[in-house]
Chains A and B, each alone.
Chain A
Amino acid sequence: MERAVQRLKSGQGHNELMPQYIYALDKKIKRRVVHVIVGEWAISLVTRSKFKYKPKKHAH
């Protein structure tokens, strides 16, 4: 299965292909945990529950 990967600026200061992670509330366990972004979905890596994710627009 083709997995969606997005460009994310790494801690080393260069771009590379890697999954994008967010820290968000998992409603099933009522706790903030790591979610992976797959397409328009954010999927919890603990319970696999998911929600539609819209990236925050940063002001420059």
Chain B
Amino acid sequence: MASPHKPVLLTGTHTKVLDSAMKRGNWIVALLLAHTYSEAFLREWLLYSGNLPLETMARSIIRETERIRFEQLVLVHHLLGNIDGNLRERIYEVNKRRNEVAHRLIEYDLSDREIDTRFRGDAEKAAAVCSDVFAHFKQALDRQAEKV
């Protein structure tokens, strides 16, 4: 694990992690990971959005953004124009499925390939959503970097 104080490159390594889980047929793990990555990107992205003057950005504001519920977070990104209605709906769909799986996780025998395979479609949808969220987030970073 990276030290909390050492800089690390932001290169989109999540794709390798997700691909690896899917190649091994770990579809439930891939679904949970894809959702977690998508949420992390969306929460991070909020800090680089909007027109708030940089000097007003404070730890207290950031702490408050960390408390925003997932659905509200997605809605804010839609209102800011960061994501369109289609991506918003796809994120909600993945979120709904992820919650169903996560809350019933102890009911599944993860060593049973047949059970895992049932979630292949969900995992692939979640990975596609994660990829789209990251691509949009990366574009937003590029726009911010242009201003530096």
A21 and B148 form a contact (CB under 8 A)? no
B residues less than 8 Å from A35 (CB atoms): 7
**Which A residue sits closest to B60, measured CB to CB?**
A29
- B15 interface neighbour in A11, A38, A45, Cβ under 8 Å: A11
Complex interface bits, B8-24 against A, C-beta within 8 A gives 1, otherwise 0: 11111101100000000
Chain A interface main SS type = strand
State whether the Cβ of B103 lies closer than 8 Å to any Cβ in chain A: no
B62 and A29 within 8 A (CB) = yes
Chain A residues near B108: list those with CB within 8 A. none
Interface residues on B, range: 20 to 34
Q: When the two chains form their complex, are residues B7 and A48 in contact, meaning their CB atoms are under 8 A apart?
A: no
What residues on A are CB-neighbors of B1 within 8 Å?
none
Chain A residues with Cβ under 8 A from B12's Cβ?
Answer: 10-11
11 A-B pairs with CB atoms under 8 Å apart are A3-B146, A11-B11, A11-B16, A19-B141, A20-B9, A22-B8, A25-B5, A34-B10, A48-B54, A48-B148, A56-B6
